Structure 1
Amino acid sequence: MSKTNKSFIHVPKPTLERLKRYYTYFLQLEAEYISSEELAEKFNIKPEQVRKDFTYVNITGKPKVGYHVPSLIKELGLLFGKEVLENIIIIGAGNLGSALAKYSGFEKLGVKVVAIFDNDPKKIGSFVGELAVLPLSAIERVVKRFKVKIGVICVPEESAQEAANLLVGVGIKAIWNFAPVPIDVPETVIVENQDISSGILTIKHILDKK
């Protein structure tokens, strides 16, 4: 059984975060091989940490050659479920939601945006890329038709919990939350908060210290 079988392996969160960064980097890399030293320099960590991280995937490096990049992409793709295409929906057709809906890199990660929703009558019926903005009343139908498990929240703070409730109510299993506020959902629902405000403040804080 491959070590990347998701039912078998448990990857610590810090390692998982690094593996995600490696994977994104590998997708852009033209080289066939890469050494742990090169990766360590790229991500400002120790080579020993890189080698330890790769013990969680079913591949080993070659002495004086390094790791085979296509094999790493394949194994990490299995780890992150890239081979299984997941349909996602977006609530909020503002600037951020529209940008995400038009992002061309999702399908490389095994994700496809199949619908975008809004409650603004002026936006409903307009197009974001190839997607027509749909009313919130159409969410349940779309989720069932496309077997959607992931919902993205790109609405103002005051509307975030309502959007979360709507997604949970139609059976969404995971939420990617871009609203600058925590949302309350059942423990069975996965939530990944993407706080843009917090991120930029962290960057500014680090810059101020330099």
Structure 2
Amino acid sequence: MAPRKKTTLSKEEIAKKKSEQAKRRLEKIKNDPVLLAEYKEKERLKYLKKKEKGQRKCVKDMTPREHRKARKNWIAYSSDYRKKQKIQENTDKYANQNTPPSSEDEIIAEVPLLNKEREAEARRRSIVQRKKRNSILKRKDLLIENLKKKLASEQQKNRRLKQRMIKKKKAVTPKSKILEMAEDPNQKAELIKKALFGEVIQKQILDTKNTTK
């Protein structure tokens, strides 16, 4: 028996096949409350990660140019969605008009009721995921607060160091030294001694000058 030849699909057929598979998976998730809750939580976490990386921006954080570009994309997406919805409505309408009425023997499929236990499990998982996310955000806020405190402390140290360097660069003169001593309350006694000593020296110089004349 000859082996079967593998049929090669074109890029369009492969893309169409993947799209149909994705639709079936999404439909399966929507029909299961537990899977739906997990899917929503995953999508929410993806959005938060993209927002942290700057891949998703709020309107208030956008520049005017980015806002115009985003608005243009929104209009295009909305237009495509409305066109697809219109095509789907026309297709359903045509199918209903050209389908013969169903016989009484046909069994009408009933939509199954959601299981309460599965709903409770979905809510529980959603709460757990929300708590984890809030815990991560709290840890990040605490880390940011600690970094801000460290930064403020380093800035204060730098300011003090600059002030010391400026003081060292200033030329030390008798006048500047006296002013510096006057600002320090612990050196008042020393300042008085130096002032008295200066007056005595000045008087001696004047007396010596007068006697030499």
Per the normalisation by structure 1, the TM-score is 0.21
Higher RCO by CA contacts (8 Å cutoff, separation 6 or greater)? 2
Q: Rg bigger for which structure?
A: 2
